[in-house]
C-alpha cells in the first residue's frame, strides 16, 4: 500500500476480512519478533490473525501508512479482572536510586535487529492490566512488525526500583526505545537511566510531572480534555464557569486548565469548590456552589417587595413564587466536575436539592465521565465531556476480544499505539529520534489521532460527547487531522 501523509485523506479504523493462517503459523510468525522474556508472571499466548485484514494507523510525511492484519482467534483467557479507572491522579514518586552506570561500556548486539523494550507489571496486583497491555502490544506487532523487529518485554511488578533495573538491562541488550512503564513513580525511576544513554521512553503514565527529558507520557491527560470541552462551551456562548474538583494534583490541573481556557476567551470562572478526595458528605460544597443561602435571602426579599406592592400583577407573581426555594440566576452558565464514579453520582444527586437545574446550566466533565450508566442521574443528562471517539475503541476492543478471548483493559490501546508506532518507524528506517517522534502532523492510532509534543506529553484529537439517558452521543466529532483546514 502506498504511503499516505496524514491529512491527505480520511483513514478508517475498520478491519477487513481475509484468510486466517493456522495456529502454528501464527505462533511461528510471532516468535520471530518476540525477544527473550525475563520476569516472573509473563506468559505468552498464541495468536491467530487474518493476514490480509487491515488495522490502519496513519503516519505523517515520510513514515507512511501503518497497515496490518485483523485478528481472529479463540485463544482461551482468564476471566477479566475488575478494571481501575482509566485516569489516576499523579502521586509524587518516592526516591529511587537508579542502577549505577556500568563501569565499562556495554556493547549492543551487532545485527540488523531493531530491539524495543516493553516495561509492564506482569506479576503482582496489576498483573491482569499488564497482561492486557502486553497482548495489545503483541497484536500491534503481529499486525505491523517484520522479522527485524524484536520486542523485549520485562516485568516491573509495579515497582520503581525493579523498573529502573529492567530499563538498564534493556539498554544493555540493545533496546533503542522503551515502551512503558505504566505508573508515574516507575517512569520517574526509569527516566535518569534512559537519559544517560539517550534512549527515548514512551510511558503509559498520565503523570505529566515526569514528562520531558526524553520521556513522553501517553496516558490520557485532563489538560487537553478540559480545553476541548470548555472550548466548545465558549463557542456555544457559555461564558461563566464554576468548577468542582478534588484537592489533588488532578484537581489542581483541572482548575488551572479551566482558568487558562476561559480567561483566554474572555470568560469568567465565578465559582471554585474543592474537597478532600474520598469525602463522604458533599452537601455543604454543593450548597456553597449554588449560592443557595444568598438566593434564599433574595427570595425572601422579592416576596416582601411583591407583598408591599399589593397590585394584582405583583400578587400573581407572588403566587408563582409559592413553591420556589430560591430567587435569581445561578452564578454560572456551566459547571465543570473533575470527578467520576460514585463521587460524581453523589454530587449530581445533590444538585436538584440546591436548585442547580441542568436546563439552564450545562454540566461539563473530564475523561473520568467516560463510563457507562451516567444517564441514570438526571442532573448529568445533557452534560458534555471530552474523550476519544468511541468508534475506534469499539473496533479495537472487538478485534482484541476476537483474538484473545477476553475484553481488553481500557488502557490497552496505549500499548497498541506505542508498539505500532515503534514497529512502523523501525520498518521505515526513520529511527526513534526526537524529530521523528514529535512529527507535528502526528499519527492516527486505535482511538484517533495523536502526536507527541516536544515537552513530553501527548496531544489527542478528542470528540465532545453528550450524556443521554441510554448512553452517550457525539456533540462535536473528533478531528481527523492536526493540519489546519484551509481558509477561503
**Secondary structure class of 363 (helix, strand, coil):** strand
Read off the pTM.
Answer: 0.77
279-336 pLDDT tens trace: 888 999 999 999 888 888 877 887 888 888 888 888 888 788 787 777 778 999 999 9
Identify the CA nearest to 462 among candidates 448, 446, 452. 448
Arithmetic mean of pLDDT over the chain: 80
Q: What percent of the chain has a predicted confidence (pLDDT) above 90?
A: 62
Domains assigned to the chain: 30-219+411-456 (3.40.50.2300), 222-291+330-387 (3.40.50.2300)
Question: Which residues have CB under 8 Å from 411's CB, separation 6+?
Answer: 86, 129, 132, 133, 182, 204, 219
Which pLDDT score is estimated for 455? 95
**pLDDT above 90 (res 407):** yes
Q: Is the Cα dihedral 180, 183, 185, 188 positive or negative?
A: positive
Question: Phi and psi (nearest 5°) for 381?
Answer: -65, 130
Q: State the DSSP code for 82.
A: P
* pLDDT reading at 52 higher than 50: no
Task: State the pLDDT confidence band at 88, using cuts at 50, 70 and 90.
Answer: very low
Res 30 pLDDT > 60? no
Q: Do β-strands 240-246 and 215-217 pair in parallel, antiparallel, or remain unpaired?
A: unpaired
Query: Quick one: pLDDT at residue 210?
Result: 96
Tell me the per-residue pLDDT of 183-205, one tens digit each, with 9 for 90 and over: 999 999 999 999 999 999 999 99
Question: Quick one: cell of 344?
Answer: 460524581
Which of 47, 42, 43 is CA-nearest to residue 154?
42
Q: Which of 54-58, 154-158, 167-171 has the lowest mean pLDDT?
A: 54-58
Report the distance separating Cα 124 and Cα 141, nearest Å.
25
pLDDT tens-digit readout, 208-258:
999 999 999 999 999 999 999 999 999 999 999 999 999 999 999 999 999
**Is the predicted pLDDT of residue 127 greater than 50, yes or no?**
yes
Which of helix, strand or coil describes residue 411?
coil
Model pLDDT, residue 29: 40
pLDDT exceeds cutoff 70 at 360: yes
**Residue 339 pLDDT exceeds 60:** yes
- For residue 191, report the phi and psi dihedrals to the nearest 5 degrees: -55, -50
436: pLDDT strictly greater than 50: yes
Measure the CA dihedral 253/396/401/419, to 10°. Answer: -80
- Helices (H), ranges, 239-340: 249-264, 283-289, 292-309, 312-320
The candidate with the shortest Cα–Cα distance to 174, out of 102, 109, 121, 234, is 109
Residue 44 neighbours by CB distance under 10 Å: 14
Mean pLDDT of 404-433: 93
- Contact partners, residue 163, CB within 8 Å, separation at least 6: 119, 156, 180, 181, 186, 187, 189, 190
Amino acid at each position: 500500500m502506498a504511503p499516505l501523509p496524514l491529512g491527505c485523506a480520511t483513514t478508517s479504523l475498520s478491519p477487513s476480512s481475509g484468510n486466517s493462517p493456522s495456529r502454528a503459523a501464527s505462533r511461528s510468525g510471532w516468535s520471530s519478533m518476540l525477544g527473550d522474556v525475563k520476569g516472573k508472571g509473563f506468559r505468552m499466548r498464541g495468536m491467530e490473525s487474518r493476514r490480509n485484514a487491515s488495522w490502519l494507523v496513519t503516519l505523517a510525511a515520510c513514515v507512511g501508512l501503518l497497515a496490518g492484519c485483523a485478528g481472529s482467534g479463540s485463544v482461551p483467557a482468564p476471566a477479566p479482572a475488575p478494571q481501575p479507572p482509566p485516569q489516576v491522579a499523579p502521586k509524587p514518586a518516592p526516591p529511587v536510586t537508579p542502577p549505577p552506570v556500568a563501569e565499562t561500556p556495554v556493547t549492543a548486539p551487532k545485527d540488523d535487529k531493531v530491539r524495543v523494550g516493553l516495561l509492564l507489571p506482569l506479576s503482582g496486583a496489576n498483573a491482569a492490566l499488564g497482561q492486557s497491555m502486553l497482548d495489545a502490544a503483541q497484536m500491534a506487532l503481529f499486525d505491523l512488525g517484520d522479522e527485524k523487529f524484536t520486542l523485549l518485554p520485562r516485568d516491573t511488578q509495579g515497582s520503581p526500583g525493579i523498573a529502573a533495573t529492567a530499563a538498564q538491562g534493556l539498554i544493555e541488550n540493545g533496546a533503542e526505545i522503551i515502551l512503558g512503564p505504566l505508573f508515574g513513580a516507575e517512569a520517574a525511576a526509569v527516566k535518569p537511566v534512559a537519559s544517560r544513554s539517550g534512549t527515548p521512553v514512551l510511558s503509559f503514565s498520565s503523570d505529566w510531572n515526569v514528562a520531558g527529558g526524553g520521556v513522553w507520557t501517553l496516558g490520557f491527560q485532563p489538560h487537553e480534555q478540559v480545553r476541548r470541552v470548555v472550548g466548545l462551551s465558549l463557542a456555544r456562548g457559555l461564558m461563566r464557569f464554576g468548577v468542582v474538583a478534588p484537592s489533588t494534583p488532578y484537581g489542581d490541573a483541572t482548575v488551572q486548565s479551566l482558568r487558562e481556557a476561559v480567561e483566554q476567551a474572555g470568560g469568567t470562572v465565578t465559582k471554585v469548590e474543592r474537597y478532600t478526595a474520598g469525602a463522604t458528605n458533599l452537601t455543604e460544597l454543593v450548597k456553597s456552589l449554588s449560592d443557595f443561602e444568598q438566593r434564599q435571602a433574595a427570595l425572601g426579599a422579592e416576596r416582601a417587595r411583591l407583598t408591599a406592592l399589593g397590585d394584582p400583577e405583583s400578587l400573581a407573581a407572588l403566587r408563582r413564587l409559592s413553591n420556589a426555594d430560591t430567587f435569581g440566576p445561578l452564578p454560572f452558565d456551566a459547571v465543570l466536575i473533575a470527578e467520576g464514579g460514585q463521587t460524581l453520582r453523589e454530587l449530581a444527586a445533590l444538585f436538584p436539592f440546591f436548585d442547580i437545574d441542568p436546563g439552564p446550566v450545562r454540566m461539563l466533565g473530564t475523561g473520568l465521565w467516560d463510563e457507562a450508566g451516567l444517564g441514570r442521574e438526571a442532573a448529568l443528562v445533557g452534560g458534555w465531556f471530552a474523550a476519544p471517539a468511541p468508534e475506534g475503541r469499539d473496533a479495537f476492543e472487538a478485534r482484541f476480544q476476537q483474538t484473545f478471548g477476553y475484553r481488553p483493559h481500557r488502557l490497552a490501546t496505549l500499548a497498541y499505539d506505542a508498539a505500532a508506532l515503534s514497529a512502523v518507524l523501525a520498518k521505515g528506517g526513520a529511527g526513534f529520534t526526537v524529530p521523528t517522534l514529535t512529527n507535528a502532523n502526528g499519527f492516527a492510532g486505535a482511538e484517533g489521532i495523536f502526536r507527541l509534543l516536544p515537552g513530553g506529553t501527548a496531544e489527542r484529537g478528542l470528540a465532545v460527547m453528550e450524556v443521554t439517558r441510554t448512553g452517550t452521543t457525539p456533540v462535536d466529532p473528533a478531528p481527523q487531522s492536526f493540519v489546519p483546514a484551509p481558509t477561503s
